[in-house]
Amino acid sequence: MMAIDDLLDRARDARRRRDDAAAELAAVLRALEGLDGVGMLDATQRRELGRLRERPRAKRSTRGRRVASSGQAPAGE
């Protein structure tokens, strides 16, 4: 039983760290966009900001967590 709790805690901690990192990255991106808006970035920084904007965003699948948390398959399956 303890091993299962440890695995669940690890997954929860990893998810929290990932969510925290994503929130921090979003804040940095907003700050850079603000600096760009007032002309405070040089050409290299603007180019890197453009790359960050163009970066594809991974879509998180909630299906696995819904199934795991409820113990049942989603409706329609």
Q: Indicate the domain borders of the chain.
A: 14-48
- Chain Cα centroid distance, residue 49: 18
- How far is CA 30 from each of CA 16, 35, 53, rounded to the nearest angstrom? 21, 9, 11
Backbone CA torsion sign across 39, 45, 46, 51: negative
Is residue 77 very low, low, confident or very high in pLDDT (cuts 50, 70, 90)? Answer: very low
pLDDT, tens digit, for every residue of 19-71? 999 999 999 999 999 999 999 999 999 999 999 888 776 666 555 554 455 55
Q: Residue 9: is its pLDDT beyond 70?
A: yes
Query: pTM value?
Result: 0.59
- In the block, tokens 């709790």 appear at 5
Non-local (6+) Cβ contacts of 41 within 8 A are 32, 35, 49
- pLDDT at residue 55, rounded to an integer: 77
Q: Name the 3-class secondary structure at 28.
A: helix
